[in-house]
Amino acid sequence: MEGFLQALAAGLLIGAVYGLMCVGLGLIFGVMRVINFAHGDFMMLGMYTAFYLFTAAGVQALFGNTVGPFVAILLAGPVLALFGYFVHLALISHVSGTRTASLEGEGHYAQLILTLGIALILQNGGLIVFGSVLASIRTPLSSSAWELGPLFDMSIFLNKARSIDAVVSLAIMVLLSLLITRTRIGKSLRAAADNPTAATYMGIDVDRAHRTAFALGCGITAIAGGLLATNYPFHPFVGLEYVIVMYAGVVLGGMGSIIGAFWGGMTIGLVQQMSTLILPTQLQNAAIFAVFLLIIFFRPQGFFGRMVERT
Amino acid sequence: MLRIERLSAGYSAKPVLNDVSIDVGAGQFVAIVGPNGAGKTTLFKTISGIVKPSGGAITFDGVDLLAVPPPQRAHLGIAHVPEGRQVFPSLTVMENLEMGAMTESGHRDWQANIERIFEWLPVLKERRNQFAGTMSGGQQQMLAIGRGLASSPKLLMLDEPSMGLAPSTADFIFERLIEIRRQSGLTMLLVEQRVAEALESADRGYVLEAGHVVLEGNNATLRADDRVRKAYLGM
């Protein structure tokens, strides 16, 4: 029982961060319908950005070892959002949005090749610039825990860094939901996702909406990556490990549902941690995909998937 | 207000519109009728910028419309109520109307507009928090019209507002459109397959066949024309 609760708690904490990571991709896919294979590598860049902001750009000196990492991680968000903005402007916009809306397959083939190409450049460019040595954003909180309990002779330990990671993720999720559901920008993003042609008739610049979504998606996933990096070491090819999890989360949540992607990521975090109760740790990822297939078998549209296709 | 001169347009190698000239004066209600595939929807899409013309000119309010990027055209005062309604299914009725009001004028007049829209189309008020995708076809059509009105347009373009609707619903929507026009004096351009109703309520009309304007005139002339009577009015 104690082991079960401990795994549940760990799953919820890591699930919140996975959820945030998936939301970044879900936002891009939901609004643009572009399969971004480079998203894991944008996350890798986010991790390194947070790492260098912390160690080399003075954040560590300014905020210390405890708060500093989280300041650096939050700052990496806007940096990667800006990077995403320009990648969209220079590259992605040429193979997506209104330019390809009338083409057969809406330009998906070109998008596939382009984002795979970006992924390769980022991975190998990362190898040249950052080297292959494992890096991590260490904080003293990574190796200490809060104890919940004892209650009924049971205690649950919550890793302090992971707990803060989860709280930060949830806070950003709340802010993002408010942005999407309450503001004019958010509503116009959803309108552009629903029906790009009709959105144009409303005077919404669909390509600009896409750029906003792409920038936001990159920024959000960068923050999630930074949060993961407080506990997991990373390297230039780390994106590959996570991009699969991201896609699984987005599909589980329901393609196109932005909030759904969060619950998809949460599910994956839970399954990953709970599976260690009955399976060897090496089979964590196998467990994720077994559960993934099971859920998709019974609910092909995902948790929040729309039954009606977009017009 | 809207002047289309010798417009040609189409999809890649297939021309759909050939030398089409249409004139809509301020305050007029102009109907474009014709059979399926005549190019009526393509004409609207060209005005909105979704289809690029291969020749000709469009001026709106003295502005060369073809030089204006598509999303900016709504901001000039053109509201396009598209064929097949095309409401935003995952947005609520209210959010759909807000999207109509993305233009500066729509934003400015929001309060007055929303009151008038709810008065003209009360079903939208009743269902303002419902997701648009869950509404019936007739309700979605009313929403699409309300969404167009929410931008405070100078010109309201309606592409087959009766498409796919039960005859009684289509009648009701026509009746609403005439009432809206009577009260607001809005300039309207209507594309319609229900020729009799369209010609009855419009000031002027054009008959479009296979990409050509084959006939134009005021409503009395058109309804008296033998070809129109035979082909479209079944007389």
* Alpha-helical runs (H) found in A33-152: 39-55, 59-90, 108-130
pLDDT tens profile A269-298: 999 999 988 888 888 888 888 999 998 888
- Point out the residue among B48, B84, B91 whose CB comes nearest to the CB of A187: B91
Tell me the chain A residues in contact with residue B71 when contact means C-beta distances shorter than 8 Å. Answer: 200, 203-206
Q: Is the residue at A308 inside a domain? A: no
- Is residue B48 within 8 Å of residue B159, measured between CB atoms? no
- Does A311 contact B at CB distance below 8 Å? yes
Which pLDDT belongs to residue A309? 45
Could A197 and B90 be called an inter-chain contact, meaning their C-beta atoms sit closer than 8 Å? no
Say what the ipTM of the complex is. Answer: 0.94
Tell me the chain A residues in contact with residue B87 when contact means C-beta distances shorter than 8 Å. Answer: 195, 198
Mean pLDDT, rounded, for B142-154: 96
Could B82 and A206 be called an inter-chain contact, meaning their C-beta atoms sit closer than 8 Å? no
CA of A192, closest CA in chain B: separation in Å? 9
CA distance B207 to B211: 10
pLDDT band at B80 (very low <50, low <70, confident <90, very high): very high
CA distance A256 to A306: 8
Which pLDDT belongs to residue A41? 97
Mean pLDDT, rounded, for B140-144: 97
Q: Is the residue at A306 inside a domain? A: no
Give the global pTM.
0.91
Could B50 and A197 be called an inter-chain contact, meaning their C-beta atoms sit closer than 8 Å? yes
Q: Is the residue at A307 inside a domain? A: no
Listed by start position, the domains of chain B span 1-77+187-235
- Does B74 contact A at CB distance below 8 Å? yes
Which pLDDT belongs to residue A301? 83
* CATH 3.40.50.300 correct for B1-77+187-235: yes
Residue segments in chain A with a per-residue pLDDT below the cut of 50: 307-311
Instruction: Name the residue among B131, B152, B157 with its Cα closest to residue B143.
Output: B131
Q: Is the residue at A157 inside a domain? A: yes
Q: What is the CATH number of the domain that holds A42?
A: 1.10.3470
Which pLDDT belongs to residue A308? 45
- Does A307 contact B at CB distance below 8 Å? no
Please tell me the total count of domains within chain A: 1
- Does B75 contact A at CB distance below 8 Å? yes
Which residues span the domain enclosing A97? 2-298
Q: Token pair 């309108």 is at which residue? A: A191
